[in-house]
Structure 1
Amino acid sequence: MVTEPAGQQPAYYVKSVEKTFAVLLAFTSDEPRLTMTRVAAKADLSRAAARRFLLTLADLGYVSTDGTHFELTPRALDIGASFLANLTLPQIAEPHLRQLAVDLNETTSLCILDGTDVVYIARVAAPRLLSVSVNVGTRFPAWATSMGRILLAGLPPAHREAYYKSIQLTPFTENTVASIDALRSEVDRAAELGWSLVSRELDDGLRGLAVPVKRGNDLIAALNVSLQTHRMPEAEIAETVLPCLQQAAEAIASDFGGRSRGVA
């Protein structure tokens, strides 16, 4: 590979391509309609250059204009459509799970609801662990896990009640929720808070913290971190771990085409 001197672009570099994408990326969810002057400022172009790029993109069908303002057209989606079509939620989530696992030095997972169980669809073990007993495809009763309770909290009330009628609670530890009424209260609390913490119910040495991952208004998965009970006091989790988890959930949702806003 040929290394260019610092500050210089490679000989093949097409500056106009860079400028084209600067113009396209000037349009954001906060500013979907822009004047030519505003595009020039955001793309670091002269007004004359911005005009040429915008009018060319309009001729190609990527932007539309009313004569004063410009905005992207649906055709702009074609640029990333092929890439997005080949991505699945686990693929999108994995780099975020890896970074979260490194940041927290804990195991991170992404789960979906399947019947009465949660199913792991992506999982990254804590960097300090040499082996794990839970893998992609592992199932647990949804009612006994933090991610399960977040997913149950996102169900319509009638579906939630149907779920309660379909299960039988079995103790895993002495801390396992013991009644449907108690479970209902925990799920209602998860719905109210937008996150769920389950402590020592499935495994006496573990706590699980989970937040929702949403695409628009649709709850698509739960993001979870498993915390060994001896590594952090429970009182600190909401202040130190929860913001990291919520940020990762937002990033996954954004990459998958939506925004996570908590459980409704």
Structure 2
Amino acid sequence: MTTVDGEFVRSLDRGLAVLRAFDADHRRQRVTDVAARTGLTRAAARRFLHTLVALGYATEREDEFSLRPRVLELGDGCLAAAGLPARARPHLRALAARTGEPVALAVLDGADTVVLAQAPGRRLLAPVHTVGARAPAYATSAGRVLLAELPPGERSRVLGAAQLAPLTRRTLTDRAALARALDGAAASGVAVVDQELEEGLLSVAVPVYDRDGAVIAALTTALAAGRWAPEHLHAELVPELRTTAEVIGGEPPCA
């Protein structure tokens, strides 16, 4: 929970809430939509939206608002400081070319994973990873390898605050079963999630360690369920992921 004190700027908090109201499922919204998603009044939502339009961060068409690419500038400083996405991209492209599958680099943000970089594969027409996309960590392979690496107390805190919703009929929502899955991911260094986030989609992930042995991200791929036989998945695809993860993690940070 955010601590509010005399230094807290509520108008900035509300403006950021308006930005966060837009996501992959809500790309175009009316004032009433944004007001409902943020808890703001319609008048306040309208003022924030028109301010974003005036500053070049949003556009309005037929009473609907959508974000413009300029919003990427807001996160550019953080990503540039980390240097990780830029270092990873050529290795992601090479991995996608070798396997034919889309691959992505993701990090943990609270109870969600966030994609930092991605490379499309040859075998899926629609992109399954987009930079900045968020997903519930408990239902993704990237999320599970990252949760598995957390200290027990922090893992319990993150999962305790998460609502384990049944996204598909296969989603693990039993906390004891999820804990066992995380323990398995920690022991094996790999997580395989079969159609728990989306029907027909299987994902595989391995952790990325830096040169000091700290986990800095997860390397993940998503593929059509059933395309890889389990024995080939573990004998061929997982080693490819691990090799690329070692290369990415072993590179020195950008100066």
- Give TM-score, length-normalised by structure 2: 0.65
- Percent of counterpart pairs with the same letter? 40
Aligned with residue 100 of structure 1, among 80, 84, 95: 95
Whether contact under 8 Å (1:213, 1:223) holds in the other structure is yes
Q: In the TM superposition, what is the alpha-carbon distance from 1:130 to its structure 2 partner?
A: 4.2
Indicate conservation of the 8 Å contact 2:92/2:104, yes or no. Answer: yes
The reply on whether 1:240 has 2:236 as its aligned counterpart is yes
CA distance 1:199–1:256, change in 2 (3 Å) = farther
Please state how far the C-alpha of 1:132 moved relative to its aligned partner: 1.6
Q: Does 1:198 align with 2:193?
A: yes
Instruction: Decide which of 109, 114, 121 is 2:109's aligned counterpart.
Output: 114
Cα contact 1:223–1:245 (8 A) shared by 2: yes
5+ residue gaps, structure 1, are: 1-84, 258-264
| 1:170 corresponding residue in structure 2 | 165
CA distance in 1, matches of 2:97, 2:225: 18
Letter in 2 for 1:151: L
Select the residue among 193, 209, 215 that pairs with 1:219.
Answer: 215
For the pair shown, the structure with the greater C-alpha radius of gyration is: 1
Distance in 1 separating the partners of 2:213 and 2:105? 18
2:28 aligns with none
| In 1, Cα distance between equivalents of 2:199 and 2:123 | 20
Deviations 1:173-219 (A, max 9, x none): 11110211111111111001111111111112111111111111211
Amino acid at match of 2:134: R
The Cα of 1:160 is off from its aligned counterpart by 0.7
Q: Distance in 2 between matches of 1:182 and 1:249?
A: 27
The answer for the alignment partner of 1:231 in structure 2 is 227
Unaligned segments of structure 2, at least 5 residues: 1-79
Partners of 2:126 and 2:202 in 1: how far apart?
19
Map 1:75-94 to 2 at 5 A.
88-94=83-89
Cα deviation, residue 154, structure 1: 1.1
1:186 maps to what in 2?
A: 181
> What's the Cα RMSD here?
1.6
| Cα shift at 1:157 | 0.7
8 A contact 1:106–1:125 mirrored in 2: yes
- Partner of 1:135 in structure 2? 130
Q: Give 2:234's aligned amino acid.
A: A
CA 1:128/1:194 → structure 2, altered by over 3 Å: closer, same or farther?
A: closer
| Compared CA separation, residues 86 and 144, structure 1 to 2 (3 A) | closer
Q: Which 4+ runs in 1 deviate beyond 2 A?
A: 127-131
Contact 1:89 1:256 survives alignment (8 Å): no
User: 2:149 is matched by which residue type in structure 1?
Assistant: G
Q: How far does the alpha carbon of each residue in 1:65-87 deviate from its partner, in whole angstroms, 9 at most, with x for none?
A: xxxxxxxxxxxxxxxxxxxx977
Q: How far, CA to CA, are the matches of 1:201 and 1:242 in structure 2? A: 19
Query: Which residue of structure 2 lines up, in the alignment, with residue 74 of structure 1?
Result: none
Q: CA separation of 1:97/1:229 partners in 2, compared to 1, >3 Å: closer, same or farther?
A: same
Could you say if the C-alpha distance between residues 142 and 87 of structure 1 is closer, same or farther in structure 2, counting changes exceeding 3 Å? closer
Aligned to 1:250: 246
For these two proteins, the number of residue pairs brought into alignment is: 173
The alignment's TM-score, normalised by the length of structure 1, stands at: 0.62
